[in-house]
Amino acid sequence: MYEIKDLSGVEFSKVAACMRDAFSDYYVKMELGDEALYHRFHSENVRYDLSCGAFVEDELVAVLLNAVGDYNGEKVAFDAATGVVPAHRRKGLYSKMMDFCMDLLKQHNFAYYGLEVIQTNEPAVATYRKMGLEVIKEYACFRGNARESAKGTEDFQELPIKEFPLEKLVPLVHDAPSFENRTEILQFFPDDYLIMFTGTPDQCEAFIIYQKDNGHVKQWGRREGKLPELGQLMVNLSGRYQDVRLHNINFTDQELIAHLEELGFDHFCDQYEMKMDW
């Protein structure tokens, strides 16, 4: 009944429609239009020839999108998004798509395969474990806005990221950015991002790099003792956008997690990062 095929040559509108339908009843919905979804997956370097879908005749009812890229010095493949339309769940489609994609990916010398999953999605976590993936990190995810009483700062600067020496930020970062926030994405699409920071470019104290069109924060950091400055930058951003997002704060940075909660941002979910070595 189901045919698993790669997605090269498939119209993106069909992929986007399937993805929205598959996420329609998820805790985190995928509500972006075709153009925004295309840009997101393009920026993450999704390879449609290394991704696949489940078809019933000409109808696409499940997708597994794989992105590839250099991450922490290794060439890796990463599950950018997976979804099965509700009426076609519990048919073993995810396992079939994973088997199909693994055969494709193993031909390309990737160091490992990774993904992120919401911690409360226990069936998915169990499935991934059975397939050989192990938890390597835990992330906190925030969205929404700061409470009205939270204070921002006027003592900051803002620049396009291509005008800022990004290498100067390395000492300020608590943990390497997650795959979806990696520097490679910023460098591919520099016009999409701005950096808001305190201090100077050579002696930055705190910073956030965010997407201009929606206020989603891709990278952040601060020097020792400069957590209040980072929080103030987040409050500044909150005043500009209706729904600020900051995903994938490593659980080891409990100081930042607690501070964002104090500022009123919604700690809406936690995720595991999982990987499978080859």
- pLDDT, one tens digit per residue, over 96-146 is 999 999 999 999 999 999 999 999 999 889 999 999 999 999 999 999 999
- pLDDT, one tens digit per residue, over 207-245 is 999 999 999 999 999 999 999 999 999 999 999 999 999
Helices in the chain by DSSP H: which ranges? 12-22, 34-43, 93-105, 122-130, 183-188, 227-238, 254-263
- pLDDT, one tens digit per residue, over 245-261 is 999 999 999 999 999 99
CATH number for the domain running over 142-274: 3.40.630.30
Mean pLDDT along residues 75-101:
95
- This prediction's pTM: 0.92
Beta-ladder partners of 159? 195
More confident residue, 247 or 39: 247
C-alpha of 117 from chain center? 11
- pLDDT, one tens digit per residue, over 212-221 is 999 999 999 9
- The fold for domain 3-110 equals Aminopeptidase (3.40.630)
Q: Where in the sequence of the chain do the CATH 3.40.630.30 domains occur?
A: 3-110, 142-274
